[in-house]
Amino acid sequence: MVNMVLFAAMTVAFVALTLFLGWYGYKNTKNNDEYLLARNKSRPLILGLSYGATFLSTSAIVGFGGQAAQYGMFMIWLVVLNLLFGLIVAFLFFGKRTRRLGKKIGAFTFADFLGKRFKSPGIRTLASIIILVGMPLYCAAVLLGSVNFIAVTIPELDKNIIIIGFSLIVGIYVAYGGLIAVMYNDAVQAAIMFLGMVVILIVTYVTLGSGANMELTNLWDNPLLSSVTHNLAADGMNGWTSAPDFLSKTWLTVVTTFMLGVGIGALAQPQLAARFMSAKDDKTLNKSLIVGGIFMIGIVGIAYTVGALSNVFFFNEHGVVAVQYVSNIDQIIPVYLNELFAGISFGDVFLIIFILAILCASISTMSALFHAMGTSIGYDLKNVIEDRKSKEHVDAKSIRWSRISTLVMILVVIIVAYLMPANIIAKATSIFMGLTAATLLPTYTHSLYSKDPNRLAAKCSIIVGMISWTLWALFMNKGIATLAGTPLLVPSTSLLIYVDPLMIALPLSILALVLVLLLKPKKATEAQGPDLESKIMFH
């Protein structure tokens, strides 16, 4: 049972600090440079923590932690891919070029960057639409992660009040404080997240003992669990500490949807690209990479380890594993931590710390997503329309529209959250990241590594990626088709239904880009006009 007085006191202090940093961002925001990019305001520590906190949300802790309870330690490979693609490749091969080119061409958002690199309002519009279609689903999943945790932990609180109040707090400081408020809040929230996860890891191993990993291995052969392990084995699982059979249902789901979807998808995340453009110089990015790496290993490494070990805890306490005890995978971590802390001294204090950590994980990502969605409407789409009429641009007017758009997107996310089913957090995250990778990653890469980016090739790549991803998602992938209520065009026994749309759409998107580049006459490419900025960049 949570001490409500202590919880209220700590929550009020946390909300006060959050709003204060929002006010700080508001007072220091006078133009688009500051509202959209917090340019020259982000130090290495702030940038590294903000990047990590934006990348890792409640979907990583609650959603993927629950998936780790189901699929076991094999999910740890997602940590490797997060580090490889989400940090090392992202910072070294995308971050520095994005920062340099973004500054040279005067880009303020991810869509703005692509539009200016290709000198194409159409590409800017397409990128904005993809953000506005897919990001609300991801943002709603992040919101539900924290709401579900609080609802399980403190059932006295009304779920509707949590959803609406929580969204409004985040939206207000994002709308008025801009990226300065977002990044400074991210840094504070990341520190609380890290503390909360370390506490969980320590309490887990103190409770279960140093032999917990071996116990998890032995659970697979326990005769009391033969019914559940038989069903899991039929899908390709070989244990909670072993890899599943290659190309089995479980392998395809975990590898293509969770690991590759999130791992590769991280490279084309608009809210993360904005962090690169906010950096003062390359040295700042190098230092931020170290900070982000430590943070990421701590958060996701602990989340997936604890998620898998929850099976040992539930078996010791109730004689069943996690998926038997908690039918909703998104609630495995909340239920586990509530029972874990209930059995130790000062458990309510530790639980409150983790509640704040969950709030931080949700707020840090939601704030970045609200900022990205708001600026996509208030800055990108609005300016695409206005640029056709006039070249004049007024910072104050753009900021005002971005703030209004942010508040509108809050309502959209709340509605989506109410419509979403159970067991959706990890899936929704993979859907959004897979969609952005399939549609935008080849174009984004081309914009960074070509001296004269080809507009037609970029448009074809985006459109082919969008169409192929949508068709496979709605009519070939069982998980997404079930959510959308669309019929599968292949037998339910086929392994194809477990292949993520990313695995089909990304290769086709790349192929479309390459074919146009090979087939398009050189003269037509030159007709786009010289790209002075890229010549300077690649000199």
CA 251 to chain centre: 22
What is the percentage of the chain residues whose pLDDT exceeds 90? Answer: 32
Per-residue pLDDT tens for 330-348? 889 989 988 888 877 777 7
Mean pLDDT is highest, among 133-137, 185-189, 528-532, for 133-137
Rounded average pLDDT over 132-151: 85
166 has pLDDT over 80? no
Residue 38 — pLDDT band, cuts 50, 70, 90?
A: low
- Least confident stretch, 11-20, 260-269, 378-387: 378-387
For the residues of 421-435, what is the DSSP string, one character each? -SS-HHHHHHHHHHH
- CA distances in angstroms from 530 to 107, 457, 527, listed in the order given: 18, 17, 8
Rounded average pLDDT over 191-210: 88
Give 164: exposed, middle or buried? Use CB within 10 Å, 0-12, 13-18, 19+: middle
Rounded average pLDDT over 183-197: 81
What is the percentage of the chain residues whose pLDDT exceeds 70? Answer: 89
Q: How far apart are CA 339 and CA 326, in angstroms?
A: 12
Q: Quick one: pLDDT at residue 77? A: 87
- CA distances in angstroms from 488 to 40, 220, 469, 471, 527, listed in the order given: 50, 33, 15, 11, 44
422 has pLDDT over 80? no
31 has pLDDT over 70? no
Q: Quick one: pLDDT at residue 33? A: 59
Helix or strand (DSSP H, E) at 56? none
Q: How far apart are CA 81 and CA 86, in angstroms?
A: 7
Q: How far apart are CA 124 and CA 116, in angstroms?
A: 8
11 has pLDDT over 70? yes
Short-list 137, 214, 147, CA closest to 420: 137
Greater pLDDT, 400 or 272: 272
The single-letter DSSP state of residue 490 is: S
Structure-block tokens of residue 6: 């202590």
Q: Quick one: pLDDT at residue 390? A: 46
Rounded average pLDDT over 425-436: 87
Per-residue pLDDT tens for 292-309? 888 888 888 899 999 999
Q: How far apart are CA 152 and CA 425, in angstroms?
A: 16
Q: How far apart are CA 369 and CA 375, in angstroms?
A: 10
- CA distances in angstroms from 350 to 161, 188, 316, 358, listed in the order given: 24, 18, 22, 12
The single-letter DSSP state of residue 486 is: P
The single-letter DSSP state of residue 489 is: S
Residue 36 — pLDDT band, cuts 50, 70, 90?
A: low
Query: Do residues 123 and 443 touch, judged by C-beta distance below 8 A?
Result: yes
Q: How far apart are CA 430 and CA 415, in angstroms?
A: 20
Short-list 288, 359, 345, 461, CA closest to 145: 359
527 has pLDDT over 50? no
Q: Quick one: pLDDT at residue 537? A: 42
Rounded average pLDDT over 101-109: 88
Q: How far apart are CA 41 and CA 156, in angstroms?
A: 41
Q: Quick one: pLDDT at residue 531? A: 46
- Compute how many other C-beta atoms are within 10 angstroms of the C-beta atom of residue 378: 25
217 has pLDDT over 70? yes
Short-list 310, 303, 304, 325, CA closest to 216: 310
Q: Quick one: pLDDT at residue 534? A: 41
Q: Quick one: pLDDT at residue 524? A: 43
Tell me the Cα Rg of the chain: 23
Mean pLDDT is highest, among 64-73, 84-93, 264-273, for 64-73
Domains and CATH numbers, the chain: 4-538 (1.20.1730.10)
The single-letter DSSP state of residue 41 is: T
Structure-block tokens of residue 299: 């958060």
Q: Quick one: pLDDT at residue 70? A: 92
Which residue type does 308 have? A
Please name the residues in contact with 324: beta carbons below 8 A apart, sequence gap of 6 or more: 228, 314
Q: Is 401 left (phi over 0), alpha (psi -120 to 50) or beta?
A: alpha
- The residue with tokens 């700042």 is 284
Rounded average pLDDT over 471-499: 90
140 has pLDDT over 80? yes
Mean pLDDT of all residues in the chain? 83
Greater pLDDT, 57 or 316: 316
User: Over 160-210, what HEC string results?
Assistant: HHHHHHHHHHHHHHHHHHHHHHHHHHHHHHHHHHHHHHHHHHHHHHHHHCC
Greater pLDDT, 281 or 130: 130
28 has pLDDT over 80? no
| 279 DSSP β-pair partners | 42
Residue 533 — pLDDT band, cuts 50, 70, 90?
A: very low
Residue 196 — pLDDT band, cuts 50, 70, 90?
A: confident
499 has pLDDT over 50? yes
Rounded average pLDDT over 78-83: 82
Which residue type does 447 have? S
SS3 279: strand
b/e sequence 108-118, b meaning 16+ C-beta within 10 Å = bbbbbbbbbbb
